[in-house]
Amino acid sequence: MASSKKLSDYIDAIAFKYLSAVDTSPARSNQHEVRSQQIKKVLGDPGSDTKIFNATFIYLGKDIDNPARDESTVSWYDTRSGNPHRSQECALYYRDNLVTELMSEGDLFLIMKKTDRSLLIIIVPSGTSEEQRIKWLFGIDSGSRKEEVVAFQIHNETEIGFSERYILEELGVELEEIDDNYLDLILSKFGGCFPKTKEFSMFARNIFKNDCSAIDDPDHAILTFMNGEELLFRTLENHLISQHITTGFSDTDKFMEFAKSVLNRRNSRAGHAFENHLEQIFLDHSIKYSRGKTTEKKSKPDFIFPGTDQYQLAKENEELRQYLTMLGAKTSCKDRWRQVTKEAELIQLKHLVTLEPGISRDQTEEMKRNNIQLVVPTKIQDSYTSEQKKWLNTLSDFIKLVNTRQMKF
């Protein structure tokens, strides 16, 4: 298997509530308190002491491209400590900061204790993709709209795959997704440098091909290949970064330049790897296609089925246009899905395959209005609502569609 890490390897417990108007209106001292015995499941019993925790506050707002963050401390104590005649009443106290200034009534407020005992306090507006993803990741009941605090220990034994990793990294949880058992094999194949993405994708498929069947279950196969390549890439990346750190940097600018190149490589490689693995799955199913070819003007869709030759033919034969299919491939959509609407103008309904979990209902409704049909692997569809799942296509559904259409040419 590509990964053996579980959610419980990184997170001990969480507590959450939906904020009331009182919660978002601090007193003059700019202080906030959440009072609940439930939080003892996360922070333990404070006893007669005041426990201080370092905490990272994160706001995942729908109008903010990069999550707002702030570092602070929180206090956990019994407000009735020293009074033997009254029962314990625990409270979490925190001061106003950059993140709390952004929160509003109805937002999801989540306290997360990681296995290293550090805290993440996450504010998420209701109705957003971020809220939907977090609820899926932690198994939060969709009916949880009460203002009281709910808390529980994390005993999730599901392996962390591409989608779980996507959410955790968005939350700022650093994952140690490497396996040095593969390092010698990687170095013997490619040496001490990053290979071309297409070569690395093929290398990953060869290693993990026995864990799946692209013919029998393409939805499982695409996740197996993506998870496997991510593991191998992070293993190689960790090795090469360690060498750079050992050598050192001449100044801060050199270090920042190196760090930026690491992030850019990760993002660019993941997108290309996704297309590479999709391409191989299409080949395994004997599907005809063109990848990254021009259809008109400067438009270059990720995939055209059965190909750009047939696309050009359909420009003169309107009857054939109904048998054309285009597919955009984006590991995560965010606002970039709108790019697909401007591609392959002969094709009215455009398909978009993604690995992004829990896209909000508002966003998928907007996709529908713009004639976008979303394709999501079966496992990731569990992060969508039951109504959304009725509309979604699986990768297997999409393959059946293009197989049928290509016979018309």
How much is the pLDDT for 266?
A: 74
Mean pLDDT across the chain: 89
How much is the pLDDT for 182?
A: 93
Do you know the residue count of the chain? 409
**Residue of 59, 166, 311, 384 marked catalytic:** 311
| Confidence check: pLDDT of 76 > 70 | yes
How much is the pLDDT for 259?
A: 65
DSSP assigned state of 161: -
Residue range 106-163, pLDDT digits in tens: 999 999 999 988 999 999 999 899 999 999 999 887 665 666 888 888 887 778 888 8
Sole residue written with tokens 């002969």: 346
pLDDT class of 77 with cuts at 50, 70, 90: very high
Q: Cα angle vertex 84, ends 82, 86, to 5°?
A: 100
How much is the pLDDT for 157?
A: 73
**Domain boundaries 290-406, CATH class:** alpha beta
Residue 398 to residue 396: CA distance in whole angstroms: 5
CB 353: neighbour CB atoms within 10 A? 24
Q: Where are the domains of the chain?
A: 7-170, 180-284, 290-406
How much is the pLDDT for 250?
A: 67
**Of the ranges 86-90, 125-129, 242-246, 398-402, the best mean pLDDT one:** 398-402
How much is the pLDDT for 3?
A: 53
Residue 219 to residue 161: CA distance in whole angstroms: 13
How much is the pLDDT for 33?
A: 85
What pTM does this model have?
0.89
Helical packing angle, 395-406 and 252-284, nearest 10°: 50
Average pLDDT for 253-278: 81
Residue 41 to residue 73: CA distance in whole angstroms: 19
343: its two tokens: 């591609």
Name which residue leads in pLDDT, 334 or 36. Answer: 36
Q: Is 53 helix (H, G, I), strand (E, B) or coil?
A: strand
How much is the pLDDT for 163?
A: 87
Residue 220 to residue 351: CA distance in whole angstroms: 19
Q: Cα angle vertex 158, ends 277, 199, to 5°?
A: 20
Q: Is 113 helix (H, G, I), strand (E, B) or coil?
A: strand
| Confidence check: pLDDT of 64 > 80 | no
Residue 234 to residue 186: CA distance in whole angstroms: 11
pLDDT class of 225 with cuts at 50, 70, 90: very high
How much is the pLDDT for 26?
A: 61
pLDDT class of 300 with cuts at 50, 70, 90: very high
The string of DSSP letters for 54-83 reads EEEEEE--TT-SS-EEEEEEEEEEETTTT-
The burial of 394, by beta-carbon neighbours within 10 Å (0-12 exposed, 13-18 middle, 19 or more buried), is given as: buried
293: its two tokens: 């070819």
Q: Is 354 helix (H, G, I), strand (E, B) or coil?
A: strand
Average pLDDT for 220-238: 94
**Of the ranges 12-26, 234-248, 328-342, the best mean pLDDT one:** 328-342
Name which residue leads in pLDDT, 380 or 193. Answer: 380
How much is the pLDDT for 240?
A: 83
Contact between 224 and 2 (Cβ < 8 Å) = yes
Judge whether 93 counts as a catalytic residue.
no
Residue 219 to residue 235: CA distance in whole angstroms: 25
Residue range 301-310, pLDDT digits in tens: 999 999 999 9
Residue 342 to residue 346: CA distance in whole angstroms: 10
**Domain boundaries 7-170, CATH class:** mainly beta
Average pLDDT for 311-318: 94
pLDDT class of 274 with cuts at 50, 70, 90: very high
Average pLDDT for 379-384: 95
Nearest CA among 94, 126, 143, 142 for reference residue 20: 126
Average pLDDT for 223-233: 95
Residue 57 to residue 136: CA distance in whole angstroms: 21
148: its two tokens: 């009281």
**Of the ranges 25-39, 89-103, 389-403, the best mean pLDDT one:** 389-403
pLDDT class of 277 with cuts at 50, 70, 90: very high
- Residue 325's DSSP bridge partners are 305
335: its two tokens: 């606002």
